[in-house]
Amino acid sequence: MSLLDDLLADLKLEGDQLWNAVAGLDADGWRTPTPAAGWTVATTVAHLLWTDEVAVVAATDKDAWDELVLVAIQDPTRYVDQQAIEVARLSPEALLARWGKAREALPAALRAVPNGQKMPWFGPPMSPTSMATARFMETWAHALDVCDALGVEPEQSDRIRHVAHLGVRTRDFAFSVHELPPPTEEFRTDLVSPSGDQWSWGPEDAAQTVTGSAWDFCLLVTQRVHRDDTDLVASGADAEQWLTIAQAFAGPAGEGRGKR
């Protein structure tokens, strides 16, 4: 199985779990507020389905993508959130039906991108593998918000390795969005997966390190937890600063979550 196939299989499983959590909700359930300020369960699912739809456009229809970007740049700071708000006005049945179509269309669209070719996106162009990783990260993180809203305990699976990898890879980005110079040397990151496996990135002899649970690390880089509420241990000033600003998602610096 290729890396893209592996990512898409894990994305489907993650999406299935969220689907099962919301499919039986009544109208009031869909309006339940999540920990993301101003977002309900409906807004969260609407955001995911809209982004899946837009990813399909980016992968398959350059003219339509260019038109979408022209609209987006008229209000770049609010455009994406506004789309979620608009789509969330659909009935629960319509939301699920539209999300189901988007979930089916995305894997085929990504697999159809020619080898070595990247697809346009709101930031730098992305390979299909990078897009699948980003869609997994967003689906997982937003599903956590829905689980929190509904009082459902999320499954802790080793699928989060995709999020952990993205969190490590976006270290320098996190510094740059805070207008800080990225560290000049790699860190060593050693994390324990939900199943107990050891996941590692960076040179073994790195001067600065981050250790702890992969689950807490993934919560942190998606800004679903405050730094002080994790078990992560940083050795080195730069590594500690990274853990206060880490973000695996694109866009401006996120506000993060308050301490429990």
**Residue 40, phi then psi, degrees to nearest 5:** -100, 180
- Spell out the domain ranges in the chain: 3-155, 160-245
Counting Cβ atoms within 10 Å, is residue 203 exposed (0-12), middle (13-18) or buried (19+)?
A: exposed
Whole-number Å distance between alpha carbons of 65 and 71: 10
The encoded tokens of residue 40 equal 């309900």
pLDDT of residue 256: 75
3-class DSSP assignment, residue 24: coil
Instruction: Using the Cα atoms of residue 90, residue 96, residue 100 and residue 103 in order, give the sign of their dihedral.
Output: positive
**Single-letter amino acid code for the residue at 28:** D
Whole-number Å distance between alpha carbons of 86 and 89: 6
Per the CB < 8 A criterion, the answer to whether 157 and 194 are in contact is yes
Beta bridge mates, 234: 210
How many CB atoms within 10 Å of residue 227? 19
Average pLDDT, the chain: 95
Q: Which residue has the tokens 């990225």?
A: 182
Whole-number Å distance between alpha carbons of 99 and 134: 17
DSSP 8-state secondary structure symbol assigned to residue 125: -
Per-residue pLDDT of the chain (260 residues; tens, 9 = 90+): 699 999 999 999 999 999 999 999 999 999 999 999 899 999 999 999 999 999 999 999 999 999 999 999 999 888 999 999 999 999 999 999 999 999 999 999 999 999 999 999 988 899 999 999 999 999 999 999 999 999 999 999 999 999 999 999 999 999 999 999 999 999 999 999 999 999 999 999 999 999 999 999 999 999 999 999 999 999 999 999 999 999 998 877 777 787 87
pLDDT of residue 123: 83
233 sits in which H/E element? strand 233-235
CATH of 160-245, one of 2.60.40, 3.40.50, 1.20.120, 3.30.1050: 3.30.1050
Whole-number Å distance between alpha carbons of 144 and 138: 10
Per the CB < 8 A criterion, the answer to whether 213 and 192 are in contact is yes
DSSP alpha helix (H) spans, the chain: 3-22, 27-30, 41-60, 62-72, 79-87, 92-111, 128-150, 161-169, 171-177, 214-221, 237-245
Return the CATH number of the domain spanning residue range 3-155: 1.20.120.450
Beta bridge mates, 188: 209
Whole-number Å distance between alpha carbons of 217 and 102: 29
Closest CA to 199 of 209, 189, 207, 208: 189
